[in-house]
């Protein structure tokens, strides 16, 4: 069974789809000058866009891991998340604190979804 990849770069791709399951790379904000709210909004918008490219959407997320660099941003991240996540189809989630590839990144989110 073949694997379809999206936005294939020299180091990683943004998404792979295999056997009805979608795997997203860890998504970070493009505009890293923004605060946790702004970065979370950007990341979730990117996730929406990627899932749409694979013919899926946020109601079909199976698992998500949220890495935030500082748990003092937990509530502000959740405020954006709670407004975005589809009621009745909220996904399993884990949130942990971790430093990310660049100090300016405040949040990184990975997603596994149904195609």
Residues that bind a second copy (CB under 8 A): 1, 3, 5, 8-16, 18-21, 23-26, 60-63, 65, 67, 71, 74, 78, 81-82, 85, 87-101, 108, 110, 112, 114
Return d(Cα 113, Cα 23) in angstroms, integer. 7
Judged by beta carbon, residue 35 or residue 94, the one nearer a second copy is 94
Name the minimum Å distance from CB 33 to a second copy.
Answer: 20
Sequence-separated (6 or more) residues with CB below 8 Å from residue 92: 62, 63, 64
Judged by beta carbon, residue 38 or residue 93, the one nearer a second copy is 93
Return d(Cα 71, Cα 57) in angstroms, integer. 28
Name the minimum Å distance from CB 58 to a second copy.
Answer: 12
Closest by CA to 64, choosing from 108, 4, 6, is 108
For residue 107, the 8-state DSSP code is E
Name the minimum Å distance from CB 30 to a second copy.
Answer: 17
Judged by beta carbon, residue 34 or residue 95, the one nearer a second copy is 95
């Amino acid at each position: 069974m073949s694997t379809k990849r999206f936005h294939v770069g020299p180091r990683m791709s943004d998404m792979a789809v295999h056997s009805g399951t979608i795997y997203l790379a860890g998504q970070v904000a493009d505009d890293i000058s923004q605060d946790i709210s702004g970065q979370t909004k950007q990341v979730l918008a990117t996730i929406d866009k990627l899932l749409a490219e694979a013919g899926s959407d946020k109601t079909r997320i199976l698992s998500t891991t949220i890495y935030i660099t500082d748990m003092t941003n937990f509530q502000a991240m959740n405020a954006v998340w709670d407004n975005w996540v589809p009621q009745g189809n909220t996904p399993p989630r884990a949130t942990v604190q971790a430093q990310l590839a660049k100090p300016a990144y405040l949040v990184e989110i990975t997603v596994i979804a149904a195609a």
